[in-house]
Amino acid sequence: MEVVATLRGPSLADAAAQNRELASVTTRGRRLQLSSPSSVGYIEQLNREQTVVAKRIARAIPGSYVHWRYSVTLNGLAVVVPRDAVSRLARVPGVARVWSSAVYRPSLDNLDRTPALIGAPIVWGPTLANAGQGVKIGIIDQGIDQTHPFFSPAGFQYPPGFPKGNTAFTTPKVIVARSFVPAGVTAPASVLPFANLGGDDDHGTHVAGIAAGDNGTPAPFFSTQPLSASLRARISGTTRRSPCRARAAASTGTRPRSRRRSTRP
């Protein structure tokens, strides 16, 4: 299992907060300047101290290893150890505290209760007749799978002036799709509004589905076909709404509706 072991010395941020002299050469205004010689020197010092502790951990717990190091806001190590060795890790000299990982699982029951908690049914009306009417939603994320069941275009039509962007990734439900990438980037996974990478490419679809997915539509864990650029995300489990991604999308809530990578509810 992976845990975080914090060490005894202060991180760069803590040291700068406690020492005015150090703060004067590592900060500008209220921001740390990580590239300043003093910041670089302090982080290198922490790295040397962490290496000493890492070697102690490796000797004390065979098979363990350091997965990540922290030095700016936290002085610590992410350490992979056997589950029964966590108590031994806490006793390694130099380790101040061990923080175990927590496992969180989705609860669809709680999600189903959320609309009532915020008063959404009152706004929507008993038949959802007012749900999303006249609303366009723009999402910047991994991109949106416009072919996902949560984004069925049935009963929608493009509003005046749409679709926009890469129209190969739009529908009357997802009305805009665009990928914003730096100049020189040509990889399809980056330039396409939706690259269809499965579990690595579904977060936008998930987010867009929460915001503007079709109510009461069972959906697969993640879609296998491309969505539009702005609404892309991962779908975890069966939900009532669909997801979005790291591209831009927009949609509206007027029937007949159209949605972009900005999507409509």
Query: pLDDT tens digits, residue range 202-218?
Result: 888 888 888 888 877 77
Cα 220 to chain centroid distance, Å, stands at 20
Which of 51, 73, 99 is the endpoint of a domain? 99
Which of 62, 80, 99 is the endpoint of a domain? 99
* 87, 119: one domain: no
Answer whether residue 68 shows pLDDT above 80: yes
* 76, 113: one domain: no
Structural domains of the chain, count: 2
Answer whether residue 107 shows pLDDT above 80: no
* 20, 88: one domain: yes
* 118, 171: one domain: yes
* Strands 164-165 vs 176-178: parallel, antiparallel or unpaired: parallel
- Whether residue 158 contacts residue 259, with contact meaning beta carbons closer than 8 Å, is answered with no
* 84, 114: one domain: no
45-60 tens-digit pLDDT: 999 999 999 999 999 9
Which of 99, 134, 157 is the endpoint of a domain? 99
* 45, 150: one domain: no
Q: Is the pTM of this model over 0.85?
A: no
* 112, 89: one domain: no
Range of the structural domain that residue 140 is part of: 108-263
* 153, 232: one domain: yes
* 174, 237: one domain: yes
Host H or E run for residue 47: helix 37-60
Here the tokens at position 136 are 């366009």
* 47, 116: one domain: no
* 118, 184: one domain: yes
* 95, 112: one domain: no
CA gap 93, 91 in Å, rounded = 6
Q: How far is CA 127 from CA 34, 105, 131, 152, 184, in A?
A: 55, 31, 9, 19, 49
The secondary structure of the chain in percent helix, strand, coil, rounded to multiples of 5, reads: 30, 20, 50
Answer whether residue 110 shows pLDDT above 70: no
Position 236 scores a pLDDT of: 24
